[in-house]
Amino acid sequence: MSMPFNFEDNIKNATVMLQDVAAELQTDDLNKAGRIFRAVLQSIRDRLPVNDAVQFAAQLPIFWKGIYFDQYDTSKVPVRIRDANDWINYIRNKNAFAANNDFQQDEEITAAFRAVFRALQRTMTDGQLEKVKQSLNEDIQELLAA
């Protein structure tokens, strides 16, 4: 027997996650937080092998799953990014239409990456986030430690 789809609960879960990201970013602008969250989520997705990307998405609220998989091209993943600067630019390019407003400096992208990761820690299992972290080269992992 299938469970009924509770649209309101799904919206609530997605909104709570967005508010967590906004709090970590120290902004009240939920539109900005959403753009940044999308850019980081899709960057993480592109860095993962397809099976790992799907496992990661399984723990996201349904609304964020849709955004996570938007424009996903499995023939182009995982992207090979080994350098922190390349990672920063990759995230910037995922937010191309608003990057000039959201990311004035590289440090803002690094802070956004850390903020999204901290927010995900409240929702995802430790094992899943550790798997994501281990998929990143050491140079990129160091961005999370700062």
Domains of the chain by residue range? 7-145
State the CB neighbour count (10 A cutoff) for residue 44: 24
Instruction: Say what the pTM is.
Output: 0.92
State the CB neighbour count (10 A cutoff) for residue 131: 15
* CA nearest neighbour of 111 among 144, 76, 141: 144
Token readout for 19 is 């508010």
What is the residue type of 137?
N
6-51 pLDDT, tens per residue?
889 989 999 999 999 999 999 999 999 999 999 999 999 999 999 9
Task: Kindly report the length of the chain.
Answer: 146
Average pLDDT value for residue range 77-88: 96
Domain 7-145 has CATH 3.30.1180.20: no
